[in-house]
Chains A and B, each alone.
Chain A
């Protein structure tokens, strides 16, 4: 094992390439369904995707539109002139013998993404992002002497986002890919379904003791935030161990074994392949005019940063806001963010609402325990009524939670929330006489604890209050109960 003092001598440098699959209806260059998730192999393949003689690519305008949205999501403007190039290599899942991509004039140049790790904000630069067509999928069944190729994925539109080598820890890498995910989802350019490979990450890692960058490894095709984090951790450790043993890092492409949580060598990059890039003569350059760029800019929804800014007035931390941002994506019709924002003038309520969303409703929805079909307006009115009961001291926060959970699981919102809470027995009893009776009873049943309180053991009061709450089925006003206990014990 490496000593921390050794590890601290090294600086880690991380750059990430992220492939985002655009959610276009059809492929990048052919009029074939882009959603291959449930399709049998090789059923979504046109003459272009199959690389037939005479087949010509025709650029999907929707993909360009999404690339513009992605540009704005990455905090930059799209390039007015970009073009497509051919990247040549032979592989059976690449029917044309070249990949159509953007080499030296991509649609996005520059951009920046702000991340936050341990409360520290940091900006990660985006070098470029370009459109390209995905290859097909090869599988090599074990124990056979053949490989299988499925061309359904061939021609799927991708945006490859290349970061600057601005990250230095695994946590930063993870925060960056998470933030890319959020932005691409908010820009609505991709389903970003990690399970289906809608977003894949290639992580470049190097370590060095000096200002000069070390030799890097590239771990390809990571498909979860956690895998990005773990792969970086593994690579840092592996590379430092090699260097400490006096060995050299080989520039290479590595894969990720999720079961073993290890990277493994795939191929050396020392004999780098020559892709013989060439402008694709079948595709005219993509030339964007200002009115179009402005139109797309105007239609952009609020990005995560904007929501964070808007919700910052609540004083909630980034983790809570990000939970809301992610939950919003899973259930946009529920309008968490908007409901909070609508009430931002009433800060205390808005803050309480955010808490209830994060602590009650979001987990309940995740567990599919929200059955109430009521409209958002009814839901908001319900939360407001509950809030008033809590603020008026009539409902304990514990009972409020139970009440909300029950109502979300019910078939309708109660007409009168106060009455409903009353009926359910959730309303706090603040009648001194009634609580006093319970206190008397509890003190009689818990003589030992009562003695402890008398002898100055403060903790015992808490226990007795708990017993009073229990005996009153949670209805007793706990503050009042505490005062009455003290009073009856002569404190």
Chain B
């Protein structure tokens, strides 16, 4: 993988676009060329050559005319293939949505386009974002840019690999239980999960609606913050969206001294690989040396977060996947002799193994007679976890730990063991359950594989979190 990026910081690209030093067409062509040259990593499902080049020309014409262009003018980006985007199919890497052309676009995409960014490709993912490795993609498995025999993480593995492979300055991911942060950690990128509701979910294939967030995967915190700045804020098409911070997410004071940071005790114990633990401890030492007030803090319910997550998420998944019934769009079993067969064969053949597993689990926990024992109880624990986070945030401003218990694992290593695969989410599921913002930034490498450091903050404190992450990033570089 390239150690030096071919891309300038995004803010610089926009500046140079405005001044006419560079052309959007060149940027898009360079991105498409890089994508074409790195096909063997299987990061990309489709490219949007025609539409991307046409948009590039529009932006170049605007610059030529002397118009002011947006904060992301000419910046190529790659969207995870669960974003509805014009110009290519939206498949969510699933057979059931193969060939589905979106008749409307995601709000996040519209906002990025309005700022001048250009979507050049759709990235691979675990089908419907169900997974931590892209091995659950119905199409192919993405390879880790650092080691082709290893996974890039997931579910936004294609997006993270694309950024690590320098295909574009940034990519979009979705995070339900860690799907932005864990692949960022595995590929050495920055992955940002905003506060729940800060970025509209409209036009993004839903996984677990009470958990899903949209966020950037980028090379630097600054780039990620700039992308967030463009996407954030209330959207009339998503009633769960919240107001954005009144000031920009890209203002950094880089002060680490006296920042109160808690190390989550439960995330540094059993199950964390020694090399990961060592990298995190080294990072903590650097933060302490820089004057941060770091101490251990306990979140007892954090150990239950994974169990809660694997009840609530499948419940929502089973509900959200109901609409894929073969009756209106996507895959239809054409030879069905009646409605029942049309349903069972369309869904039976259209959904992959993991989607079916989650539909079954979700259907089970929502069934009458089991609802109270599973769903309701899980909601109770979720509330308890939120309360614990609130208590923790009375003592500290940020929480810290590893993003994932291990570095990138081998392709196939966990494929036949869903439970082991689910454990990859153990550090990341708490933040979405609490709705709080979290980020993974690179914290060095172990045996050539990146380790990710996770930082979290209280709800709505995205700007503060990005500020600390920016300072920490510099410290660890």
Q: Which residues of A contact B (CB under 8 A)?
A: 47, 50-59, 86, 88, 90, 92, 95-98, 147, 149, 274, 276-278, 281-284
Contact = CB atoms under 8 A, between A and B. Distances in A.
A282 B339 contact: no
A53 B322 contact: no
B203 interface: yes
A53 B325 contact: no
Nearest to A97: B322
A52 B322 contact: no
Nearest to A57: B239
Contacts of B209: 281-282
B310 interface: no
A97 B319 contact: yes
B217 to A, nearest CB: 19
B325 A97 contact: yes
Contact of B322 (A55, A96, A149): A96
Contact of A54 (B204, B236, B315, B324): B204
Given A47-B104, A53-B323, A92-B327, A276 B366 contact: yes
A281 B84 contact: no
Interface in B298-335: 315-316, 318-319, 321-325, 327-329
User: Looking at chain B, what size class is its interface with the partner chain?
Assistant: 35 or more
B57 to A, nearest CB: 28
B323 A96 contact: yes
Nearest to B344: A90
Given A86-B319, A274-B368, A278-B375, A53 B97 contact: yes
Interface in B197-237: 201-206, 208-210, 236-237
A274 B368 CA distance: 7
B367 interface: yes
A43 to B, nearest CB: 15
Given A53-B90, A56-B238, A282-B239, A90 B97 contact: no
B84 A53 contact: yes
Contacts of A54: 83-84, 106, 201-206
B319 A88 contact: yes
Given A53-B100, A88-B322, A98-B319, A278 B366 contact: yes
B104 A52 contact: yes
B37 interface: no
Contacts of A147: 339
B86 interface: no
Contacts of A90: 322, 325, 343
Given A53-B100, A58-B236, A92-B327, A281 B210 contact: yes
11 contacts: A50-B328, A51-B328, A52-B104, A53-B92, A53-B97, A54-B83, A54-B84, A97-B321, A147-B339, A274-B367, A278-B375
B339 A92 contact: yes
Nearest to B94: A53
A95 B320 CA distance: 11
Q: 8 closest Cβ contacts across the A-B interface?
A: A97-B322, A281-B210, A276-B366, A281-B209, A51-B323, A54-B203, A53-B205, A54-B204
B103 interface: yes
A198 to B, nearest CB: 27
